[in-house]
Chains A and B, each alone.
Chain A
Amino acid sequence: MPRLSLRFVPIWRRHFLVWKKVAATSILGHLADPVIYMLGLGYGLGSLLPQMEGTSYLLFLAGGTVCYSTMNSASFEALYSGFSRMHEQRTWDAILNTPVTLDDVVLAEMLWSASKSLMAGVAVLLVIWLLGLSHTPLSLWTIPLALLVGLCFASIGLIMTALAPSYDFFMYYFTLVITPMMLLCGVFFPVTQLPPVLQTASAILPLSHAVDIARPLLNDALPPHAVQHVAVLLVYTMAGFYVSLVLFRRRLSR
């Protein structure tokens, strides 16, 4: 079982201090990504499309973008940056020589990756507000949602980091997991457009549950089945964290 403690805090602060040194570029990236997607796809495709599920295509896309952008942030951080800290820079080795344990280190990785998602989520929401797509106070709920999506994809991503022999390994994950997730989970078009088999697959994937929460919120509606969706994301988070911790313990016990 994981043995968790507050000793993750100084590790999280370490990651934050590194981030602060590149904060300007990082924030710019968080803002530019959704702007490009929403303006490009939103206006480009949106002009061809009629209303989508009762809203403009741009607003429809915004709900997906909040989720997909936060998913990406946590995934990149947990995979590439996490692997760098564990393997390339040996930051973990240095930390593990202090009174901090591996469980604290992995928890800090997960929470830091989720923090990056939180920043990405806030950035997308700002863009949505600035473009005048949504003004509802309910849209503020996408901020805690971004954190939850971050936790979920950070802990799943850490499984990959624990297994990875090198950076190349991560391409499989992005090609075989993240990209299909983006296309199957209703980010760009409604899941109902998919054949039944793929709809079933979509229902299992965590990103669908995030999108099902985010989209109604931006449209000033309470999401149906919100509790179930949150529960699914939490189960993914806990299972991912548990499995990754077991794998990290095995990997680093040599």
Chain B
Amino acid sequence: MSAVISAQNLHKSYAGQEVVNGVNITINKGECYGLLGPNGAGKTTTLRLMLGLIDPDGGELKLLDHTVPRHAREARLRVGVVPQMDNLDPDFSVAENLLVYGRYFGMKDSEIEARISALLEFANLTHKKDVKISTLSGGMKRRLTLARALVNDPEIIFLDEPTTGLDPQARHLIWQRLRELTAQGKTLLLTTHFMDEAERLCHRLAILDQGRMIAEDTPRALIARHIEPQVVEVFGERVTQWAQQHAAQYAQRFEVSGETAFCYVEDAQQLLAHLRGHGELRYLHRPANLEDVFLKLTGREMRE
């Protein structure tokens, strides 16, 4: 496996505050790699550093064999970016957006036009080719942004929160397309707040918090290493009282958040039997997931 992105001991601070603090990441060709973290964890800054849009305060960065930021321009010729906020050109039609964007890569108009119909098909936007951007739904805009990021047939695609703000149908379609890209051998680097998204799509992922990488592995390995395999969520008005009296007895670990007690267990049978005797409490038994790992490692307090 060959590394296409590598960051060693990456540092960046703003006004004395370390936003990225000693991050090491190596991403191999063909991988889908996820960056998870609460707001302000340094995900977007890490992406911007890797693209050479901002200069690091310290560390070594390589993108497709080019030293970044010094040779970021050459590297970006072979990279596509789906930004967090939509920045399609509102004055242009769908096809014009692709044409104009391709020109920034130094592509000839004929070269771009030859790609447009395939890109629109990929984005399910063939029927919208000549309409204005303002008439597109949020999901369509995201798909067009993804198609735009592919105009130069990039080897690596950076995606900053690609499905934020989309409804479930639109999100599933984006996921499907991202899996197709991985199947084609493209390397994907994405940030997300959605744990199910990371769990479904990413081969490996890193959890960032306050500028540091606090965990990195495959989704399964992260769950296996950091958390008990089963979770029982117990709800009800008197759940706090119940938890104080009984939870420790049945669960390896528990947390109360609002009106829910999260009980992390190796084996749930005894706890479930106990709960069946407490009709006033409702409960949900499920396997542990990435969100449990995330909340355990980054805490439940709000980050604002």
A residues near B (Cβ < 8 Å) are: 7, 10-11, 13-14, 17-18, 21, 89-91, 93-101, 253-254
Contacts and interface: CB of A to CB of B under 8 A. Distances in A.
Contacts of B81: 97
B51 interface: yes
Contacts, number: 61
Q: How large is the interface on B (under 10, 10 to 19, 20 to 34, 35 or more residues)?
A: 20 to 34
Given A89-B87, A253-B54, 12 more contacts: A7-B104, A11-B104, A13-B100, A89-B90, A93-B87, A94-B83, A94-B101, A97-B51, A97-B81, A98-B76, A99-B77, A100-B73
B92 interface: yes
A161 B106 CA distance: 28
Contact of A99 (B85, B91, B96, B105): B105
A13 B91 CA distance: 13
Interface string B86-107: 0111111000100011011110
Contact of A18 (B55, B83, B91, B101): B91
Interface of B: 14, 51, 53-55, 73-74, 76-77, 81, 83, 85, 87-92, 96, 100-101, 103-106, 152
B106 A99 contact: yes
Contacts of A13: 100, 103
Q: Per DSSP, are chain B's interface residues mostly helix, strand or loop, or mixed?
A: loop
Q: Per DSSP, are chain A's interface residues mostly helix, strand or loop, or mixed?
A: helix
17 contacts: A10-B100, A10-B103, A10-B106, A11-B104, A13-B100, A13-B103, A18-B92, A90-B83, A90-B85, A93-B83, A94-B83, A98-B104, A98-B152, A99-B104, A100-B73, A101-B73, A253-B55
Given A10-B100, A11-B104, A17-B100, A96 B53 contact: yes
Contacts of A96: 53
Contacts of A10: 100, 103-104, 106
Contact of B89 (A7, A91, A98, A100): A91
Contact of A97 (B76, B88, B100): B76
Closest 7 CB pairs of A and B: A10-B103, A90-B87, A98-B104, A97-B81, A94-B87, A18-B91, A99-B76
Contacts of A18: 89, 91-92
A102 to B, nearest CB: 9
